[in-house]
Each structure stands twice: as C-alpha cells, then as structure tokens.
Chain A
Amino acid sequence: MRILLVYSHPVPESFCAAIRDTAVRTLEKAGHEVDLLDLYAEGFDPVMQADERRRYNEMQRADHPYPDHAERLEAADGLIFVYPTWWYGLPAMLKGWLDRVWTPELTFHMSDGPGPIEPLMTHINLLGVITTCGAPRWWSYVVAHPGKRTILRGMRALCGKSCKRLFMAHYLMDKSTPESRANYLAAVEKRLAKIRG
C-alpha cells in the first residue's frame, strides 16, 4: 500500500526521528511505498489566515493552499503520523496541517442542511499514530488522549468505513532509558511489519 507518513519534530536527532526512520525502513521492507512528509523540514506554515478562512467552506481544488500536499493525501492508501505529544495533543505544526490541508471537497463534503458531513477520504484504509508522551499512561487515559482522539476519531470519521486504526505511545518520555527506547523501536518494527495490503 502507499503510505503517507507525516512527521513533525523540530530536532533532527530526536527520538521521534528514530521512530520515523524505523517506520520508513520497516514499511519499505514489507513492500509498501512510503511518502515521507517532514513538516518542520519543509517549513510548513500551520496558521490559517483570514482570507483562507473566509474561503474555507467553499474551497475549490484550485484554491487549495498546499496543492502538492492535497495530491499526496489523495494518492495515499494509508496515513501514519509520527509526532511528540505536546500538551496532550498534536504539535501546533501538525494541528495546522490538518486545519489547512484537510479541506472541504477534498476530505469531506459539507451538506447544506442539518445532515452529517460526507467523508471523502474513503481510499484511506489505515490510520496510525505513533507518538511519545511525557505523561504516564494512566494520566493520558484520564485526560482521554486528546491528540489521539483528534486523529483516530475525528479524522477517522472522514476515512473509509473499514479503515483500520493503529496507536502506539512511549509514555513517560522524561524517564525513558536507552533500553525503554530500544524496546519501543522494536515494538514499532514488529507492529508495522504486520501491516498488509
């Protein structure tokens, strides 16, 4: 399958970069085609400005602020996000990517009346989140994993009905050890090697 891997971390030698590399290597080895999108490296601008907001509901493909990203999103069968959980959610960089790139008529169709929106990302069969959290697991569950829910429920609703979900987190990053990090990378490898399709 063709997988768009969206990566967001400002530090090139971060642990998230190691996760990204493990993910790309494992997926390619399993025969998938990986399209890596590194938001910091691209200097992506996550802030939707007034003019774009005014046009948002009637956004046409010709007006899309990042046509290249729209095409890559359309070409993907699977999406995997690799990012650090900051303040219990997505880094602003990644949140802004959802806000600006997941536009109406590309990812969903807005109904005129009170009906629900119609999903248009039905070609996406896999939606994955691989992250690191400063918080412990129990507290992340108490506060209900806002970042995970934004993607695995909110964005999931715009994907295909049979779209599979994947979530992995290394909790308590500030107390992590070389061993815990190596174990996590091994778990990522094991999990991603199982992806079929």
Chain B
Amino acid sequence: MRVLVVHAHPVAASFNASLFRLTVERLAANGHQVDTIDLYQDGFNPVMSETERLNYHDLEINRKPVESHVDQLLAAEALVLVYPVWNYGFPAILKGWFDRVFLPGVSFGLADGKVRPTLHNIGRILVVTSYGGSRFRSWLMGDPPRKIANRILRATVRPGAPVTYLAHYEMNLSTEQTRQSFMSKVEKNLDKF
C-alpha cells in the first residue's frame, strides 16, 4: 500500500518525532511504499498568501504553489498524521498544510456552492497524536482535532474508509510506561495496514 505520512513537530528529540520515525520504519518494514512530509524539516510555509487566496477557485492554477504536496496526496492510498495537539487544534504548520493543499479540485469539488469530497484514493486514515490536557478536559472543549479526523477527514476520503484516532493525553504526566504502551498501540494499528 502507498502510505503518506505527514508530521508536524519542531523538536527532533520529542516523543512525537519518535512516533513519526516509528511509524515510517514500521510501515516500510511491513512492505508498504512510504511517502513522508515532515513539515518542519521541509520548512513548509503554512500561510496562504493573497495570490493563493485570489486563485483559490481557479482549478488550473490553484495547486501550483504546493504541487509536490498535491501529487503526494493524490498518489496516497492511506494517510497517517503524526502531530501534537496545541491549544485544542493542529499546530499552525499543519493547519496551514490543510489550508493550502486541500484545495478545490484536489480534495473536493464545488458544485452550486455545495462541497463534494473527492479524495477517494485514500482508503484508510490513522491519526497519531499527543495532548497536554486530559481526555476529559479535551472532551469538555469539544476536542476539535478528534472531530476533524472522525468527521471531516472521514467525509473527505473514500466513503467507508476506516479512521483510527490514537491519542496519548496528559503528556506532561506521561511515564516511560505510558509512552511505551502507546507506542505498542501505534505499532499494532500500523500492522493492520
């Protein structure tokens, strides 16, 4: 299976970055073809410019500034996101990846003002993430990143594609044991690909 793994954490020594490396290695060891986008490493600019916004609905040219990302996204059969939750949302660099890459003509079409999702090449989604807050507190806040995965991403890719959301909450209180057991959980889920 061709899998696109997207990562967004600035610190290479972080737990999150080790989850990214583990993901890539495990998928490759299992014989998958792995594409990676390491947004910080690549110095990705998440800010949609004025020109991009003005050309947003022009299907001929809107993808030009991020063409390689669009190509990788459209070639993928599965998408894995590895990132930390900051302020109950994606880090800006990842939010901007969605803003700039998930364009009309790429992930959706617009017909009469209505959105038609088109990213049907993707048949599986896995999210691997870590929170500072507890699951309860995140739930109180409506847990926006969980809803983005389970509702929005699910609706964007092939209908019926499984979406798995793996989160380590309360990172500040994590121990060697909680981290290890989370890594095993991630491996187990990667093996289902």
Q: Enumerate chain A interface residues (CB-CB to B < 8 A).
A: 9-12, 14, 40, 46-50, 52-54, 57, 86-93, 95-96, 98-99, 102, 110, 114, 116-117, 134-135, 142-147, 149-150, 153-155, 157, 172, 174-175
Top 7 closest A-B pairs, CB basis? Answer: A92-B96, A96-B92, A175-B113, A146-B144, A154-B88, A92-B46, A149-B142
**Cα distance A146–B90 when bound, in Å?**
11
Q: Enumerate chain B interface residues (CB-CB to A < 8 A).
A: 9-12, 14, 40, 46-50, 52-54, 86-93, 95-96, 98-99, 102, 110, 112-113, 115, 133, 137, 140-142, 144-145, 147-148, 151-152, 155, 170, 172-173
| Chain B residues, CB < 8 A from A110 | 172
Question: Judging by beta carbons under 8 Å apart, are B96 and A153 in contact?
Answer: no
Question: Judging by beta carbons under 8 Å apart, are A88 and B152 in contact?
Answer: yes
Question: Judging by beta carbons under 8 Å apart, are A10 and B48 in contact?
Answer: yes
Q: Which secondary structure dominates where chain B touches chain A?
A: mixed
Question: Judging by beta carbons under 8 Å apart, are B92 and A48 in contact?
Answer: yes
| Chain A residues, CB < 8 A from B90 | 89, 95
**Cα distance A48–B91 when bound, in Å?**
8
Question: Judging by beta carbons under 8 Å apart, are B141 and A157 in contact?
Answer: yes
**Cα distance A87–B151 when bound, in Å?**
12
| Chain A residues, CB < 8 A from B151 | 142-144
Q: Beyond the given A86-B99, A102-B87, please list 19 additional residue pairs across the A-B interface where CB-CB is below 8 A.
A: A10-B50, A46-B47, A46-B93, A48-B10, A86-B48, A86-B98, A88-B152, A90-B89, A91-B48, A91-B96, A92-B48, A93-B96, A95-B95, A95-B96, A114-B173, A146-B147, A149-B144, A154-B89, A175-B113
**Cα distance A91–B99 when bound, in Å?**
7
Question: Judging by beta carbons under 8 Å apart, are B53 and A90 in contact?
Answer: no
| Chain A residues, CB < 8 A from B113 | 172, 174-175
With A50-B40, A86-B99, A92-B46 as contacts: A154 and B91 at CB distance below 8 Å: no
| Chain B residues, CB < 8 A from A9 | 53
| Chain B residues, CB < 8 A from A146 | 89, 142, 144-145, 147-148, 152
